[in-house]
Amino acid sequence: MPDDMQGPRPPAADWQPELEELAAREAAARELGGPERVARQHAGGRLTVRERIDQLLDPGSFHEVGAIAGKAEYGPDNRLTGFTPANCVFGRGLVDGRPVVVAGDDFTLRGGSADASIKGKPRMSEQMATRFRLPIIRLIEGSGGGGSVKTIETSGRANLPGGLSDGSSFELCVENLATVPVVALGLGSVAGLGAARLAASHYSVMVKEISAVFVAGPPVVERLGEPRSKQELGGWRIQTDCGAVDHAVDTEAEAFAAARRFLSYLPSSVFDLPPRVRGWDDPGRREESLLHAVPRDKKQAYHMRRIVSAVVDKDSFFEMGARFGRPVITGLARLDGWPVAVLAGDPLYHGGAWTADACQKVIRFVDLAETFHLPIVHLVDCPGFQVGLAAESSAVIRWGVRAISAICQTTVPWCSVIVRNVYGVGGLGHQPGGRLALRYAWPSGSWGSLPLEGGVEAAYRAEIDAAPNPAAKLAEIDARLNALRSPFRSAESFWVEEIIDPRETRPLLCEFAALAAPLRTPGPARFTLRP
């Protein structure tokens, strides 16, 4: 019998003093920047970082890492006399029962700047997300661990950004974009590196009245001769309209809810598949409203979002980037419980023509779908790229070619429903070329190299000018060509595979989602999302 199993054991060493010191340090960390600064945070309408984490995660699920990291002060007897915690709080927790990493900036400590930070904490949060293949949620306020001019005085030197000695961990932010879902919430004034970490995400949210995002804040730009308030410089309208941030909500609670919902459509990492959630909607449901969703008058716009809502599982559409690139609608949804990426044209903006902004939006969105193995459903209404001087000045052809290239580079299953227009070079983007993609057309579908409107005058100018009644001749040519461009003529030669009753759209899309499910392959994508 081993010696350690013979006779009574000696009493265990008493580590109570150390446990009491640990508890005291943890309690000091929970005080954040102290009662006065916490009160100031609340007075500004903002939660503290620990309150945010508690509201974001499933109750009682937060496991903090590095709680007692910070700056300690000691007396002559080497006993702890004061403690200032690091201004990053991070750890693991659950969102709807699924593990995630969460990292938050503590604005009550030097406004989240580098002066009060332990750079190993934000770095480890990114490493943990990569190593354990967990989504990461960043709660960003301040410079996000970035610099302050006071750093020069406190450290005695100036930091050189980038390189091995930088410590910003931005290369890990980039790596995580190709590996795990990244959500970033801007929950106050967000500047510099914090703004970069907000943009380096798959989904970003601001809170309307309390958030502002900028490369450099008002004091800096005022010195350059541009006096601006925070909201004028980087308020939610500015940042969502330009596409720097995806969404804005009224309260922090809504931001947390948006983060949770976004993650519900995605796998925990590229090595998993998106989860199926089913049971609340009939995959065979036929929507009578679709019969009159598209007007016969091609100049009359209609509401594409109503069509999207009618064909996906009820209340499942989660729109992303609604205020940017508005000729295109993008979002996540479910079809018979299967998560899909939905792309749709919006004729309410530029008639659905793809602007440079819309093309940027398409690129980022299909990259997201490709990264996380989401089949793509495209409800098509695109009369081509935007034309005119403003469009040419925005390099629309460059962005358009990039968008079509991104679409052609996708490998995920793709299904297109031609709702109305498919014209010109922009029309090439209605599905990837060179591989099989399911395609259906409504009777309202209309396509060609160039829309008749405007194109007839150019092609038949001599004939129209020579006619005794040019207007009548134009109408005659229009009528003749309209008969020839009937979608049924295209179907005769198999230019379009299937023309369907619009009411069959949902059942066919649910079938597509089921057919696509076994084709999804876990693992890194060839082309991943770039911010």
Residues 198/105, Cβ–Cβ less than 8 Å: no
What is the fold of 288-450+486-518? 2-enoyl-CoA Hydratase; Chain A, domain 1 (3.90.226)
pLDDT > 80? residue 149: no
User: And the tokens for 481?
Assistant: 């060509």
**Residue 85's beta-bridge partner residues?**
70
Nearest by Cα to 137 from 79, 85, 196, 94: 94
What b/e sequence results for 118-128 when a residue is b if at least 16 CB atoms lie within 10 Å of its CB, and e otherwise? beebbbbbbbb
What is the fold of 16-264? 2-enoyl-CoA Hydratase; Chain A, domain 1 (3.90.226)
Q: State the average pLDDT for the chain.
A: 89
DSSP H helices, 4-99, are: 16-30, 35-43, 49-56
Tell me the per-residue pLDDT of 237-257, one tens digit each, with 9 for 90 and over: 999 999 999 999 999 999 999
Alpha-carbon gap, residue 366 to 342, rounded angstroms: 9
Give 110 or 262, the one with higher predicted confidence.
Answer: 262
pLDDT of residue 496: 84
Which of the four pLDDT bands, split at 50, 70 and 90, describes residue 457?
low
Alpha-carbon gap, residue 531 to 248, rounded angstroms: 18
Q: How far is CA 157 from the centre of its chain?
A: 38
Helix (H) or strand (E) holding 64: strand 63-65
Give 494 or 46, the one with higher predicted confidence.
Answer: 46
DSSP for 432-468, written as a single string: -TTS--EEEE-TT-EEESS-HHHHHHHHTHHHHHHSS
The pairing of beta strand 446-448 with beta strand 376-382: unpaired
Which regions of 170-249 does DSSP assign to beta strands (E)? 182-191, 203-207, 212-214, 247-249
Annotate 241-290 with three-state secondary structure.
Answer: HCCCCCEEECCHHHHHHHHHHHHHCCCCCCCCCCCCCCCCCCCCCCCHHH
pLDDT of residue 186: 96
What does the pLDDT average to over 299-321?
96
Tell me the per-residue pLDDT of 82-140, one tens digit each, with 9 for 90 and over: 888 889 999 999 999 999 999 999 998 866 554 456 778 889 999 999 999 999 999 99
Tell me the per-residue pLDDT of 486-528, one tens digit each, with 9 for 90 and over: 777 777 777 788 999 999 999 999 999 999 999 988 998 877 6
pLDDT > 60? residue 363: yes
CB hemisphere CA count around 264 (13 angstroms): 18
Tell me the per-residue pLDDT of 200-238, one tens digit each, with 9 for 90 and over: 999 999 999 999 999 988 899 889 888 998 999 999 999
Nearest by Cα to 182 from 242, 137, 226, 128: 137
Alpha-carbon gap, residue 170 to 145, rounded angstroms: 11
The residue written with tokens 């057309």 in the block is 441
Residues 133/118, Cβ–Cβ less than 8 Å: no
Residues 320/331, Cβ–Cβ less than 8 Å: yes
pLDDT > 80? residue 529: no
Percent of the chain with pLDDT over 90: 64
> In sequence order, which residues have a C-beta less than 8 Å from that of residue 488 and are 6 or more positions away?
499
Q: Give the predicted TM-score (pTM) of the model.
A: 0.89
Q: Would you give the DSSP letter of residue 104?
A: E
Question: Identical fold at 16-264 and 288-450+486-518?
Answer: yes
Alpha-carbon gap, residue 41 to 50, rounded angstroms: 12
pLDDT of residue 469: 87
Which of the four pLDDT bands, split at 50, 70 and 90, describes residue 169?
confident
pLDDT > 70? residue 427: yes
Domain map of the chain by residue range?
A: 16-264, 288-450+486-518
Other Cβ atoms closer than 10 A to 223 = 10
pLDDT of residue 337: 96
